Amino acid sequence: MMDLPTRSGNKADHLLCVGSWLLDKKSRRFWIGGEELRLSLLEFELLAFLMAYPNHAFLLMSSFALFGDMIRIRVEARNR
């Protein structure tokens, strides 16, 4: 088991923690209960977004529109 990043006295904006889930946006790593899981880029981005707004409900259609925009922006950036 790897050492997990921890929040020190200073605010760690790149760490998201919800229950036993820990996501490090800076290193693009994710753990559940201390076990690291490998995620695709899209899975990571979706999870980071949802973890940034815990206890919020999102309408299905607005979620598709938001994530569709995220995907389109990334594809356009790669094709430049």
Tens-digit pLDDT profile for residues 2-51: 455 555 444 568 899 999 999 999 999 999 999 999 988 888 988 898 88
User: For the chain, percent helix, then strand, then coil, each to nearest 5?
Assistant: 40, 20, 40
- Domain locations in the chain? 15-78
Distance (Å, whole) CA 71 – CA 34: 29
Q: Are 21 and 31 in contact (CB under 8 A)?
A: yes
- What percentage of the chain exceeds 70 in pLDDT? 56
Q: Is CATH 1.10.3720.10 the right assignment for the domain spanning 15-78? A: no
pTM tops 0.85: no
